Structure formats: C-alpha cells, structure tokens
A and B are shown apart, each in its own frame.
Chain A
C-alpha cells in the first residue's frame, strides 16, 4: 500500500504494516529518512504558521484560501512523516515525529518558521516557497522511490495552486498602493536571504541524487529564479541583492523563532504524556 492511500482511508491500526517498504542499503535509508524530515518538517512548520491566520484574514473569502493552504501542507506533512517513521523502523508515527522531537531534530528550512508578519509577508513567503516546491515536487514525481513519487504526484498539484494564488496576491500588493508596495518590497528584502539555504547540499543530497531518489538541490536554483522573476517584475518589485547570510534549518540549526513555535505546537503532547487523541 502507498502512503498516499493510507491517509485517505479511515484509521486502521493494522494499515501501517501494510506499507510496502523499498529495500535500501542502510546509508541510503538513513539519508532518505533525513531527507523526508527536511521536506516533511518544512511543510509541517509552514502549515502551522499558515493556520495561525485562521479567523484573522483581511477578508472573509481569503480565510478560505489560507485554510486550504494550511490543510494541503498539513496533509503533505502527514504523508511524509508517516513514511519517514515507517522507513526508520523504530515505531515512530507521524505524531511522534511531529510533536515529540527536540528543536535541533527538526529539519525544516528556516524560512518556514519565521513569524507570519503582515499579509504581504505571508503571501511573499508562500509564493517563494510554493514556487520552489512546484519544481521540487515535479522532479520528485519521477523519483526512484515509489512512495516519494506518489506523494509528489499529489502535492505538485496543491503547490501549483498555492503558487498561483499567492502569486496573484504578490502582484496585487506589489502593484497596488504605495503603502502595499512598500510592505511587499520590505517582505521580499527580508525573506530573500533565506532562500539560499534551499539550494545548498551535503552528502545526503549527493547520495540521494546518485540513487535517483531526489534531485540535487543546486539544480533547482536557476529554474526557481526563472520562475519567480516574471511575477516579481509584474509586481513592480526590485530583486534583492545577493547576501552572504545563510540559514541552516535543514541542518537543525534554527532561528530564535523556532523555540517559540514548538512549545505551542507540542503543548498537549508534552502536558498529557501517554494521552490518546
């Protein structure tokens, strides 16, 4: 059974064992586990941030859109973390992974954990991130790993809509009023340096690229820039200059914000140990 099917059925405790796992050598398996956390944590943490908007959007119609973003991201996180847990084989399920790790064990890209800020910042981040994910998911659709390929096939459609809807807002706000333009430009300037992290790589990335499981991160840098440039230009936004700043969330070194996000997210699991939900 594919992990994508698993979560679409009503909960069945026996279902987890029904996941057919590929047979990898230990190094590849460990590298894929960490890679799944990097992906899964990124969508989890961005989903958490997005859900903070619920009840506070600028217009009621947009509540619906933001909640749909959040639901897609949480759904992706569930599949990725479920698969990560199964692959690891130590009995950790999606929730053990999502709620009961220490801060340095989370591998999300740093941008996802930054506070939402105003609506412009939220939409600029979502647009930059979704544009990256569209490219990444598209490549992962042909991953040598069947589960990852199946997850990507589902997620790529969701990411495309996110890119489209958030991109629409980036253009409207960038080319709207003087005030909205300034806010959008400020958001882009602040967020841009965090994108460099997405295209850095290590031995895990090299190993997975070698095995045809995931693309080498650096390969996506140029296509990503080509994807976002026309929208930013249409939005009358100036491309921020390159910066030597580097973030390292994918390696477990986070911003100060992560230590505030996690206690809120983990509260019930920590406060009611052994609870059933």
Chain B
C-alpha cells in the first residue's frame, strides 16, 4: 500500500543543513552518481539531508503498510467465502511483509526498528491517512483493492527506480506483489456487480462513493500548493508530480468503473478531448488536512490498536530474548550439549 505524505516530509527535510558542512569531494561524487542515475548504497557517503529524508519517507511508507493491515483485517473473520477469506488473509499478510521489507530498507540508513516503531506509536511519525477511514461493509475490501491499491501502485512504480538501492529493491518486490492486490479487489466487485443481488450492488456503489475522494487525495496536495521540494526530485527519490499521477489515476479508473457498472461520485467528471484527459471536480483539501492532523474517523482507533499490540507483545519479546540468552550461556558452559 502506500504513503502519500512525501510532501510533508520534503517540507521538514528542506530545513536540514545543506551539504556545505560535508567534504566537497564526497558531495561532488554523490551528485555525479545521482546525475548518472547510479544507485546510492548503504555504506556510500550521502548528505545528511538525503539520509534523513529517506529515513522519513521509507519509514512512513512502512508505517502505512502496517497500519494499513487494520482496515482490511477488520473483515478477515467475516469474509463471505473460504476463498475470499484466504485471499484477504494473504493480502493483509503481504502488507505486513511490505512493512518489513521497508523497515529493513530504512534500517540500512542507521536507524533501528525500535526507534521507528516508537516514532509511529508516539504519533511523531505519519502514515498514509487513507487508513484513517473505516471499512463499513464487505465491499470496502474490494474497493480498497481496486482504488486504494490502484492509486498506491501508480505512486509506487516510479519509486522502483529511486536513487537509494535498498529502497528501490524493496519497491520492486512490493510492486510485483501489489498487482495481485488490485486485481483481487476489482474481481470481487465484478462478481457482486454482475451476479450479485440488488443489495450487494448497492453495497458496492456505497463503498465506491465513500472511497473515491480519499483515493484521489492519496496523491497529496496539488502541485500549485505543494511544498514538494525540487530537492527530492533532484535526489531521485520523488519522480513524478502529484497532479500528474492523480490525473493518470483518474484516466485509468474511469473506464474500469464503466466496466464494473458503478458511478463515480463526481458530477464534474467528464472527458476533455482537448486535454486528452478526464476533467474532475475540486477536491476538498480541508477534509484531507483534517484527517492528516488527527481528526479522521479512525485515527485514534488505528493508533490504539497498534499500541495495544506492541504493549501486549512486550512480555513475549522479552521472553524470547531471555530464552536466547539462557541458551547461549548453556552452550558456552556445556559446548557439547548444544
């Protein structure tokens, strides 16, 4: 899944000290690598701003995957068939896996997993605000796959070529797995729309109505208001602008909605032959910022669930460590017993 919060990161990263404090030769070599499109690897020299921006961006992305397990996880025990239950469980598991790939990538930058998790649980680190919306019906699961994962894929594909090697490699793995997520979601909606009862069709339309606008917001603020720094573009860790990606998403989604037989909740949505794109109505950015600033429908629930899992798991983590210590001691006292 995804983080939309890169613009928020860029704002903070802009404040970090520029490269002047670093040896010039290193900086020149780094710039040359970026210009050539080479990858930067963990032990290579890198400007502090680059490192900090990456840590924030990758860990926010990781947090989003992990928090993103909750809204869909809400439906695993109520999935309507065994096949759908297995698919959903596998999908939510993948999201946990994506979180792990990304934490591992962030850890190569000199930050520990515990620090990252503490930043999430204390509310210091952000995650994609799309996961602060509730999953009210089973159709939400399908719509999340179709729209939210669809938007995520569009956002993530450019990152497979980002300049930081471990992040790019994690994204390649993630993108490969995401396409299953989007397809399963769309297919489950298709079955309900084509073969389902009127109640099921109404359920799908209702879910589309609720998720459409939040999905468009996933691409971040409009370029005109965007604080996205040319720095992130320069560094090759952001590749395509928010509005470009959003337009691409709308253009791809409208025909999919037609095949599905649902309407998208935007009276302004129509094909513009001059632009060669779909026009769409204004986005309610106040709602977007409200959710980011903690006032979405589920912000508190999501964080409470993550904190509870972490706190209730503390004795398990301690026990495992205590056991490993004991086993190590035993092995040194009685080497043959091992």
Chain A residues with CB below 8 A from B191, complex form: 276-277
Cα A74 to Cα B86 in complex, Å, equals 7
Contact between chains at A276 and B200 (CB < 8 Å): yes
Q: Judge if A247 is at the interface, Cβ distance under 8 Å.
A: no
Q: Judge if A60 is at the interface, Cβ distance under 8 Å.
A: yes
- Nearest Cβ on chain B to A119's Cβ, whole angstroms: 5
Contact between chains at B86 and A78 (CB < 8 Å): yes
Report which residue of A63, A120, A265, A269 has the largest number of chain B beta carbons within 10 angstroms of its beta carbon: A63
Chain A residues with CB below 8 A from B200, complex form: 272, 275-276
Contact between chains at A54 and B316 (CB < 8 Å): no
**Number of residues from A at the complex interface, CB < 8 A:** 50
Which residue of chain B has its CB nearest to the CB of A277?
B80
Which residue of chain B has its CB nearest to the CB of A78?
B82
Q: Judge if A56 is at the interface, Cβ distance under 8 Å.
A: yes
Report which residue of A64, A75, A276 has the largest number of chain B beta carbons within 10 angstroms of its beta carbon: A276
Q: Judge if A39 is at the interface, Cβ distance under 8 Å.
A: no
Q: Judge if A36 is at the interface, Cβ distance under 8 Å.
A: no
Known interface pairs A55-B70, A71-B90; A60-B322 also in contact (CB < 8 Å) = no
- Nearest Cβ on chain A to B221's Cβ, whole angstroms: 29
A109-151: which have CB < 8 Å to B?
118-120
Known interface pairs A118-B312, A265-B77; A277-B84 also in contact (CB < 8 Å) = yes
Q: Judge if B305 is at the interface, Cβ distance under 8 Å.
A: yes
Q: Judge if A41 is at the interface, Cβ distance under 8 Å.
A: no
Contact between chains at B69 and A177 (CB < 8 Å): no
Instruction: Summarize B's interface: helix, strand, loop or mixed.
Output: helix
Chain A residues with CB below 8 A from B78, complex form: 264-265, 267-268
Known interface pairs A58-B317, A67-B92; A176-B322 also in contact (CB < 8 Å) = yes
- Nearest Cβ on chain B to A216's Cβ, whole angstroms: 30
- Nearest Cβ on chain A to B261's Cβ, whole angstroms: 14
How many residues of B sit at the interface, in one of the four size bands? 35 or more
Cα A16 to Cα B99 in complex, Å, equals 39
Specify which of B96, B188, B308 is in contact with A64 (CB 8 Å cutoff): B96
Of A18-26, A167-175, A207-215, A218-226, which binds chain B? A167-175
Chain A residues with CB below 8 A from B73, complex form: 54-55
Cα A264 to Cα B99 in complex, Å, equals 28
- Nearest Cβ on chain A to B255's Cβ, whole angstroms: 23
Contact between chains at A177 and B318 (CB < 8 Å): yes
Q: Judge if B85 is at the interface, Cβ distance under 8 Å.
A: yes
Q: Judge if A274 is at the interface, Cβ distance under 8 Å.
A: yes
Specify which of B196, B309, B314 is in contact with A276 (CB 8 Å cutoff): B196
Interface string of A37-67 (1 = CB under 8 A from B): 0000000100010011011111111011001
Q: Judge if B338 is at the interface, Cβ distance under 8 Å.
A: no
Q: Judge if B76 is at the interface, Cβ distance under 8 Å.
A: yes
Specify which of B93, B99, B195, B305 is in contact with A56 (CB 8 Å cutoff): B305
B167-188: which have CB < 8 Å to A?
188
Q: Judge if B83 is at the interface, Cβ distance under 8 Å.
A: yes
Contact between chains at A176 and B319 (CB < 8 Å): yes
Cα A61 to Cα B66 in complex, Å, equals 11
B60-108: which have CB < 8 Å to A?
66, 69-70, 73, 76-86, 89-90, 92-93, 96-97, 99-100, 103
- Nearest Cβ on chain B to A103's Cβ, whole angstroms: 17
Known interface pairs A55-B70, A172-B320; A277-B86 also in contact (CB < 8 Å) = no
Contact between chains at B80 and A275 (CB < 8 Å): yes
Which residue of chain B has its CB nearest to the CB of A176?
B319
Which residue of chain A has its CB nearest to the CB of B65?
A60
- Nearest Cβ on chain A to B280's Cβ, whole angstroms: 31
Contact between chains at A54 and B89 (CB < 8 Å): yes
Q: Judge if B267 is at the interface, Cβ distance under 8 Å.
A: no
- Nearest Cβ on chain A to B319's Cβ, whole angstroms: 3
Chain B residues with CB below 8 A from A61, complex form: 100
Cα A57 to Cα B317 in complex, Å, equals 11
- Nearest Cβ on chain B to A262's Cβ, whole angstroms: 11
Interface string of B182-210 (1 = CB under 8 A from A): 00000010011001110110000000000
Which residue of chain A has its CB nearest to the CB of B93?
A67
Cα A264 to Cα B309 in complex, Å, equals 22
Chain B residues with CB below 8 A from A28, complex form: none
Chain B residues with CB below 8 A from A68, complex form: 93
Which residue of chain A has its CB nearest to the CB of B71?
A55
Leading 6 A-B pairs by shortest Cβ distance: A58-B313, A176-B319, A180-B319, A67-B93, A268-B80, A276-B195
Q: Could you name 23 residue pairs across A and B whose Cβ atoms are closer than 8 Å? A: A44-B82, A55-B69, A55-B92, A56-B308, A57-B309, A58-B309, A58-B312, A58-B313, A67-B96, A71-B86, A74-B86, A95-B81, A119-B316, A120-B316, A172-B323, A176-B320, A180-B315, A269-B80, A272-B197, A272-B199, A275-B192, A275-B196, A276-B200
Chain B interface residues toward A at CB < 8 A: 66, 69-70, 73, 76-86, 89-90, 92-93, 96-97, 99-100, 103, 138, 188, 191-192, 195-197, 199-200, 305, 308-309, 312-324, 326
Chain A interface residues toward B at CB < 8 A: 11, 44, 48, 51-52, 54-61, 63-64, 67-68, 70-71, 74-75, 77-78, 81, 94-95, 98-99, 118-120, 171-173, 175-177, 179-180, 183, 264-265, 267-269, 272, 274-277
